[in-house]
Amino acid sequence: MRWPFARVAWVGVLCLAATHAAVAQSSGQEAFERHCALCHGLDGRGFGPLADAMKLTPTDLTRLAARNNGEFPANRVADVIRNGGNVLGHGSSAMLAWGTYFAEKGQPKVARERIADLVGYIKSLQQK
Ligand code: HEC
């Protein structure tokens, strides 16, 4: 029963995103949609198109604060983006080190800003 729901949600999210994109496009949101949504889903909840093909379920990024006593773990999120998922103790290469990727694409300073934008955007996705 997970599939039909995930599909419907995904279509809904795509429509929402399309309307949203026209209104407000933060650079954090743009980076998220480009680099993260395939696995984590456009809404960050972990239902991206690739999610079902993965061994590990992508984390629901909208509940990071809720799962951390209401406090958004900004440093941990930045670290996961910078160094990859291995900080979780899974030793996983399922999630690449995006910091390296961003740094290679531009300057380290740009990478830092990108990561800060992404962390800010993920923070804005938090649900109670
Ligand atoms: C190839 C699929 C994939 C992509 C692309 C991806 N992730 Fe992930 N992500 C995962 C998986 C799978 C996990 C769970 C890893 C684990 O449990 O070890 C994860 C975990 C995380 C976590 C850890 C949450 C926690 O529990 O602390 C964060 C934060 C995160 N991802 C952010 C991002 C961001 C930001 C991007 C884009 C820059 C991104 N991810 C791109 C698959 C992906």
Distance 42 CA to ligand 1 centre (A): 13
Please list, in sequence order, all residues whose beta carbon lies within 8 angstroms of the beta carbon of residue 53, skipping any fewer than 6 positions away.
none
What average pLDDT does the segment 115-125 reach?
94
> Given pLDDT bands bounded at 50, 70 and 90, which one contains residue 20?
very low
User: In this predicted model, what pLDDT tens digit does every residue of 79-109 receive, in sequence order?
Assistant: 888 877 655 544 455 667 777 777 777 677 8
Identify which of 2, 81, 80 has the alpha carbon closest to the alpha carbon of residue 35: 81
Extract the tokens encoding 45: 């909840």
CA 63 to mean position of chain CA atoms: 12
pLDDT at residue 29 is higher than 90: yes
64 Cα to the center of ligand 1, angstroms = 12
Q: How many domains does the chain have?
A: 1
76: Cβ below 6 Å to ligand 1?
yes
Residue 51: pLDDT band by 50, 70, 90 thresholds? confident
Q: Could you identify the atom of ligand 1 that is nearest to the CA of residue 35?
A: 37
- Nearest by Cα to 30 from 12, 16, 13, 17: 17
Ligand 1: which of 39, 55, 95, 98 to mutate, most ligand atoms within 8 Å of CB?
A: 95
Average pLDDT, the chain: 77
Domain of 58 in residue numbering reads as 2-124
Tell me how far apart the alpha carbons of residues 45 and 58 are, in angstroms, rounded to a whole number. Answer: 8
